[in-house]
Structure 1
Amino acid sequence: MLRAAACATDIGHEAKSLTLVKSFSAHYSSARLPDDIGGLVSATVLDLSKCEALTMLPESIGSLVALTRLDLSSCHALSALPDSIGDLRALTMLDLSSCYALTGLPDSICSLTALATLDLGGDCHLQCLPHSIGELTALTKLGLYGCRRMRESLPNSICNLGALATLYLSHCETLTALPERIGELSALTSLDLSSCRELAALPDSFALTCLPHSIGDLQALRVLSLRVATSLTSLPDSIGNLGALTELDLRHCPQLTRLPDRTGDLAALRWLDLSGCKALKTLPRSIGSLIALTQLDLTCCFALSTLPDSIGDLRALTLLDLTCCYALAGLPDSIGKLTALETLSLRSCNRELQELPERMCDLPALAALKLSRCDRLTALPERIGALSALTALDLSSCGELAALPDSIGDLRALLDLRLSDSVLSSLPDGIGGLASLTSLSVSGCASLTALPESMDALAALTYLGVHQCAIARLPDATGALRALRTLSCTHCRALTCLPHTIGDLAALTTLELRWCTRLASLPDSIGKLGALTELDVGYCPMLTRLPESTGDLAALQRLDLAGCEGLPSLPDALARLRRLTHLSVAGCQARVRASAEAHHHRTSAVKVKASEGACGLRHGSAERHIL
Structure 2
Amino acid sequence: MEMERSYPALESLSICKMPNLEEWNVPDSVESFPCLKYLRIEGCPKLTKLPFVPSLKEFTLHYNNVTLLGSIMFLTLETLHIWDLPIRTLPKLLDNPSTLKTLGLHGCANLESVDEGLQYLNCLGHLQIMWCDSITSFPIAILENLSSLTSLGFQFCEKLNPLSGPLRSGVVSERLNIGFCPELKHLPESVQKLSCLKELTIHHCEGLRSLPDWLGSLQSLRELWIGECPDLEKRCQKPNGEDWLTISHIPIILINWKIVQNLDI
TM value normalised by structure 1: 0.36
In terms of fraction of residues, the more strand-rich structure is 2
1:559 and 2:200 are equivalent in the alignment: yes
- The match for 1:599 among 233, 246, 260 is 246
Give the equivalent residue in structure 1 for 2:106.
467
- Compared with structure 1, are the counterparts of its residues 566 and 347 closer, same or farther at alpha carbon in structure 2 (3 Å cutoff)? closer
- Say if 1:488 and 1:460 are closer, same or farther in 2 by CA, change over 3 A: same
Flag the 1:437–1:557 CA change in 2: closer, same or farther, 3 A: same
Unaligned runs of at least 5 residues, structure 2: 260-265
Normalised by the size of structure 2, how large is the TM-score? 0.77
Quick check: 2:126–2:152 contact (8 Å CA) kept in 1? yes
Q: Which amino acid aligns with 2:58?
A: D
Q: Output aligned runs, 1:42-53, within 5 Å.
A: none
Alpha-carbon separation, structure 2, partners of 1:449 and 1:426: 13
CA distance in structure 2 between the aligned counterparts of 1:425 and 1:355, rounded to whole angstroms: 13
1:438 has 2:78 as partner: yes
Does residue 542 (structure 1) correspond to residue 183 (structure 2)? The answer is yes
Distance apart, 1:535 and its partner CA: 0.4
Is the contact made by 2:136 and 2:159 (CA closer than 8 Å) also made in structure 1? yes
Q: Is the alpha carbon distance of 1:600 and 1:480 closer, same or farther for their aligned partners in structure 2, counting shifts above 3 Å?
A: same
Q: 2:116 aligns with which of 476, 492, 495?
A: 476
| Alpha-carbon distance in structure 2 between the residues aligned to 1:349 and 1:587 | 36
More helix by share: 1
1:415 corresponds in structure 2 to 57
- Give, as a single letter, the amino acid of the residue that structure 2 aligns with 1:417: F
How far is the alpha carbon of 1:342 from its aligned partner? 3.9
Shift, 1:553, TM fit:
1.9
160, 167, 172: which one aligns with 1:531: 172
Q: 1:356: how far off?
A: 6.3
Letter in 2 for 1:418: T
Once the two structures are TM-superposed, the CA of residue 595 in structure 1 deviates from its matched residue by 4.8
Q: Is the 8 A contact 2:89 2:114 kept in 1?
A: yes
Aligned partner (choices 158, 168, 171) of residue 517 of structure 1:
158
Residue correspondence of structure 1 range 141-540 to structure 2 within 5 A: 335-336=4-5, 338=6, 341-343=8-10, 347=14, 354=21, 358-360=25-27, 362-364=29-31, 366-369=33-36, 392=37, 394-396=39-41, 398-405=42-49, 413-419=55-61, 421-425=62-66, 428-429=69-70, 431=72, 434-442=74-82, 444-470=83-109, 471-499=111-139, 500-525=141-166, 528=169, 530-540=171-181
CA-CA distance at 1:401 after TM superposition: 3.1
Q: Give deviations 1:54-108, integer Å, cap 9, x for gaps.
A: xxxxxxxxxxxxxxxxxxxxxxxxxxxxxxxxxxxxxxxxxxxxxxxxxxxxxxx
Query: RMSD of the TM alignment (CA)?
Result: 3.4
Change (3 A) 1:518 1:427: farther
Instruction: Give per-residue Cα distances to partners, 1:217-246, cap 9 Å, x unaligned.
Output: xxxxxxxxxxxxxxxxxxxxxxxxxxxxxx
**Aligned partners of 1:479, 1:441: CA distance in 2, in Å?**
18
Note closer, same or farther for the CA distance 1:348–1:414 as it changes in structure 2 (3 Å cut): closer
Q: Counterparts of 1:361 and 1:525 in 2: how far apart (Å)?
A: 50
Runs of 5+ consecutive residues of structure 1 not aligned to the other structure: 1-329, 370-391, 616-627
Paired with 1:605 and 1:346, the residues of 2 have a C-alpha distance of 44
Using the aligned pairs only, state the percent identity: 24
1:578 aligns with 2:219: yes
1:306 matched to which residue of 2?
none
SS at 1:477 equivalent: helix
Q: How far apart, in 1, do the equivalents of 2:113 and 2:31 lie?
A: 38
Change (3 A) 1:425 1:349: closer
The higher relative CO (CA closer than 8 Å, separation ≥ 6) is in 2
Larger radius of gyration: 1
Matched residues, number: 251
- Alpha-carbon distance, 1:558 to partner: 1.4
Residue pair 1:570, 1:595 contacting (<8 A) in 2 also: no
Letter in 2 for 1:415: K
Change (3 A) 1:494 1:365: same
Equivalent residue for 1:231? none
2:206–2:230 Cα contact (<8 Å) kept:
yes
Aligned equivalents of 2:29, 2:119: Cα separation in 1? 36
Q: Determine the C-alpha separation between the residues in 2 that align with 1:352 and 1:464.
A: 25
Q: Are the counterparts in 2 of residues 483 and 505 from structure 1 also a CA contact under 8 Å?
A: yes
Distance 1:353 1:518, change over 3 A: closer
Provide the rounded CA distance (Å) in 1 between the counterparts of 2:193 and 2:231: 25
Per-residue CA distance 1:481-522 (angstroms, 9 max, x = gap)? 111000011222222111432332111111010221110242
